[in-house]
Structure 1
């Protein structure tokens, strides 16, 4: 499990580590890891042109010490000092290794191979000062490596408030931070590289946000026992589709009918039911289920679909048109809104949800006493107890019509197979993203192709190939 911790917890763990190490050893570990990551990005050091943007704190110190290592390997390293204060030992080390430092932005050659963002670290406030903004603008287009977090983001919430660095690579230390996993800041991080500092897990405490990894998904995925039969493996029902949106029923059923349960039932208009069964002959009609998927493409019938599904007293996946008819707590169920749908449910603007998805997902989970899967670049799954998981699988091509219908069907199947709602939502989101990556192969995809690739992703994950 990848875990992201709050700033205060990270600082406490770092203090505990420093008490057990020689003075400056922790910074040396960080600098060595940072320098190695920059070398890997550049493909070597000799003759490369590196600029350090150096702020007043330890973040700037990490950059200076890493710069000294790069200069010692033959790189041409310059540091732009953006404050009257700079880490003295790091500055001396850079100069001793042949690097140079200046406060004159105009004196710097804009022809660079990489910019290292050491402006502010985890203690910085959102936004950047004018001098930092000017430096970033001067070197626009040069690859940027951020030290710990992109400067200017809100580290503990993932919010953006004012100018900030947009990194190609973020090298973080000890543990991930919330901004690495939560939008919109996560999109500013680029690729992530974690440098192990040997921080104590007990000192770090509980993670604020977690992200499933293949081993976690492998452990959680349902699999049939030696005496399984179709009913014991779980039965999921789908109530979806309308005359306006018949395809939504097909896609929701496709997400459910991927082999993770023993049976899929479809209940909907006769004409759509005929189309569904033509495409999925193993799908049957009304009967007992362990979970319902309700709402994709439901249109004017969505309220009736939701009421009829609730009457069965089983867990629900409430999606799309049915979300607007949620009028009270739904314990044991999963809501799957995108930002616009959640905004409508909460009576706020979509831009507010997009600016602070972590807070709104948590608030919604508490309000409706159920799991909320908030779809986005990094989908968030929140439960009423405050736990949150972020999904880091997937590709931008997944932002396509019908993808959410497939996801709803998949999560419903996992619920029916016996997973708890929090696990069903987060495993479903992970598998959905991984299937999209496989279906895309670097190019466009459609929702139906995502469903087709789900069994192969599950097969590879169970085999330890993910």
Structure 2
């Protein structure tokens, strides 16, 4: 990095930003970029410098670029470059007067960068209000969100496109801030990156994690997963959890519960009680949730704890465990407000993982998976579709994670790979339309077949 000329990284970032804006304009069916109008909202830091240099590139392509300065100072080199390219640089009040002409095609948000505090100053809020309805491209992160936690506290930019540099930031992955990012486009500018504190699996990562049978393997060496789920009140939960487990990832599936005959009618491969390498408990268990958890815990093997069995927890279990609550269940478990959990998923997933000495998979649009080990990066799952918000989908997920756990994956890997496969299966089964939990389970083998080949 020391060998790079001064300003080289900013120039790389600006070039990536400029061509992302060009792609965004073309993607909206506006034809060529010549003659289009772009307004830059420019703060005092390097984020504003990126916007100014990108504006200079756009101006040289025939775009009408005008920078509105939100501070008394701005990046001097960027200002000079934009003016030299034929762009305009004005104070905010002058920019407002220019709106009497044509509306901009795009606004570039260069207000604050990764060092900014949550919220926006009143002048930035006013500028955004004046430009309401115009598509926004944010530089690195939407201004006003909390970059490191994904939290939102006060006014912020809601972008159509966020162009970030070097690596994704936590706010690009974690809700609620991720919802303000729009589409996120990553530009490689040659940074040397530290070990992440937040990460997200991709298809190649999952391909490396998915257990594959050894040439001399058999059903017992591939892992046996047991499920104590469902009840007379919720027999369907048993069938759905078993369908998530019975996808071929484990060598054998056991079921113990009141829905035994129904489960075996639909899944003739499933057998009854016996030893298992992992147990799944809680889904639809109703009044039997506590006893199911007590039995599974006494077995000494790793557990997946869902739904009704979560209510029985009061501390560490003494065995490796994965807890799979949604926000309401986690709020009840740790005696916090559900709205607070939804506003701060990273904080509360970490808190619960430490309190219960377990991996916590906090379900949501962006499922957040925290390990009790503070040195293990939190994983955020980005796969899925809004159609996945359907009854029974969590039961399928619990069974799927249980099969991965029984097959030998570490709890953090079983939880995060399971969430990725579950979301991807939902997208495949949905094909852009409605999907049921049963359809998600049925699509899991096809997703596994589609994974990239694993290099030997």
> What TM-score results when the alignment is normalised by the length of structure 1?
0.92
Is 1:127 the counterpart of 2:119? The answer is: yes
Aligned residue for 1:334, secondary structure, equals strand
Paired position in structure 2 for 1:8: none
Displacement, 1:462? Answer: 4.6
Is 1:37 the counterpart of 2:27? The answer is: no
CA–CA distance in 2 between the matches of 1:45 and 1:446? 43
Is 1:153 the counterpart of 2:141? The answer is: no
Runs (4+) of structure 1 exceeding 6 A deviation are none
Aligned residue for 1:53, secondary structure, equals strand
Alignment RMSD, CA only? 1.3
CA–CA distance in 1 between the matches of 2:88 and 2:437? 53
Paired position in structure 1 for 2:272: 285
Is 1:28 the counterpart of 2:11? The answer is: yes
Displacement, 1:45? Answer: 2.1
Is 1:423 the counterpart of 2:424? The answer is: no
Contact 2:96 2:130 in 1 (8 A): no
Aligned residue for 1:233, secondary structure, equals coil
> What TM-score results when the alignment is normalised by the length of structure 2?
0.94
Paired position in structure 1 for 2:29: none
Report Cα offsets for 1:184-226 as digits up to 9, x if no partner.
111111111111121123xx2x211011111111111101011
Contact 2:174 2:346 in 1 (8 A): yes
CA–CA distance in 2 between the matches of 1:463 and 1:443? 29
Aligned residue for 2:186, secondary structure, equals strand
Is 1:353 the counterpart of 2:345? The answer is: no
For structure 2, the 5+ residue unaligned runs are 27-31
CA–CA distance in 2 between the matches of 1:47 and 1:243? 68
Displacement, 1:244? Answer: 2.0
User: Of 323, 342, 365, which aligns to 2:310?
Assistant: 323
CA–CA distance in 1 between the matches of 2:105 and 2:443? 39
User: Of 304, 307, 314, which aligns to 2:291?
Assistant: 304
Which residues of 2 match residues 238-387 of structure 1 at below 5 A? 238-269=227-258, 272-330=259-317, 331-386=319-374, 387=376
Aligned residue for 1:176, secondary structure, equals coil
Paired position in structure 1 for 2:207: 218
Is 1:407 the counterpart of 2:374? The answer is: no
Report Cα offsets for 1:311-347 as digits up to 9, x if no partner.
2111100000100101221331100011111111111
Report Cα offsets for 1:158-190 as digits up to 9, x if no partner.
110001011111111122211111111111111
Which residues of 2 match residues 67-216 of structure 1 at below 5 A? 67-102=55-90, 103-104=92-93, 105-109=95-99, 111-201=103-193, 204=194, 206-216=195-205
For structure 1, the 5+ residue unaligned runs are 1-16
State which drifts further: 393-402 or 316-325. 393-402
Aligned residue for 2:254, secondary structure, equals strand
User: Of 439, 444, 456, which aligns to 2:434?
Assistant: 444
CA–CA distance in 1 between the matches of 2:33 and 2:81? 17
CA–CA distance in 1 between the matches of 2:387 and 2:49? 39
Q: How many residues align?
A: 442
